[in-house]
Amino acid sequence: MKEIDYEKIAHKQEFKDLLSKRNRFILPISIFFIIATLLFPVLTGYTTILNNEAFGNISWAWIYALLLFIMVWTLVTIYMRRAKAFDREADKIIREYQEGEL
């Protein structure tokens, strides 16, 4: 079995399409994560919006913080599922390359 020429694979259209698909998925999620995460200290430090009681003695700040944890777990789950699909596509590209080389 010959060594895999990753430079050659990187120039194949299938690989470029895979990278494009992956980037179209990662960029919006990353932007959403960064904004949602950085918004919390801004809202708590510079405004009083989250200081109001949501119900009982629980303020909106606690709810926002809890939602951040839920958001992270959800985004990780979504990413892991999509990453498996991306890995399968990458394996298919490598397999096709190897079959063409034989």
pLDDT of residue 2: 67
Boundaries of domain holding 74: 6-101
pTM: 0.77
Average pLDDT over residues 94-102: 78
Of 97, 36, 96, 38, residue with least CA distance to 67? 36
Q: How many domains does the chain have?
A: 1
Assess if residue 75 is contained within a domain: yes
In a domain, 1, yes or no: no
Averaged pLDDT, 33-42? 95
The residue behind tokens 């839920």 is 70
Closest CA to 6 of 89, 93, 99, 100: 93
Instruction: With cut-offs at 50, 70 and 90, classify the pLDDT of residue 54.
Output: confident
Average pLDDT over residues 33-54: 93
